[in-house]
Amino acid sequence: MIRHIVLIRFRETVSEAEIAALFAGLHPIRDQVAGISAIHAGRSESPEQIERGYLHGFTIDFDTWAALAAYQAHPDHRALGARLVAAAAGGLAGILVFDLDCGSGA
């Protein structure tokens, strides 16, 4: 399984309702791209409070690297990605992406 992790520092002018609407846009993609097993999104609840401004994020679990590649190429992903970049503090500089191979045994 591949876990696609996205952390976002939203601009201060972006409301929680706007963020929720952006994250809600993730779920229809699950029906469009084969190999997505789970999607989770929300605000950090970390008691450590070392988010460094990345207070929101989402994860998408993919069955294979090919499923992740299909998601990345999908027009709905590209459209939502553009909206996320527009809402992030500093544009793309306000977004971190990390893809973790959860089957590597590490």
Strands 56-62, 2-8: parallel, antiparallel or unpaired by DSSP? antiparallel
Q: How many structural domains comprise the chain? A: 1
In a domain, 11, yes or no: yes
**Residues near 82 by Cβ (< 8 Å), separated by ≥ 6?**
none
In a domain, 60, yes or no: yes
Digit-coded pLDDT (tens) for 19-55:
999 999 999 999 999 999 999 999 999 999 888 989 9
In a domain, 106, yes or no: no
83 within 8 A of 29, measured Cβ to Cβ: no
pLDDT band at 103 (very low <50, low <70, confident <90, very high): confident
26 within 8 A of 8, measured Cβ to Cβ: no
8 within 8 A of 94, measured Cβ to Cβ: yes
Domain of 84 in residue numbering reads as: 2-101
Digit-coded pLDDT (tens) for 51-82:
898 999 999 999 999 999 999 999 999 999 99
According to DSSP, residue 44 is labeled -
In a domain, 12, yes or no: yes
Domain with 62 in it: what CATH number? 3.30.70.100
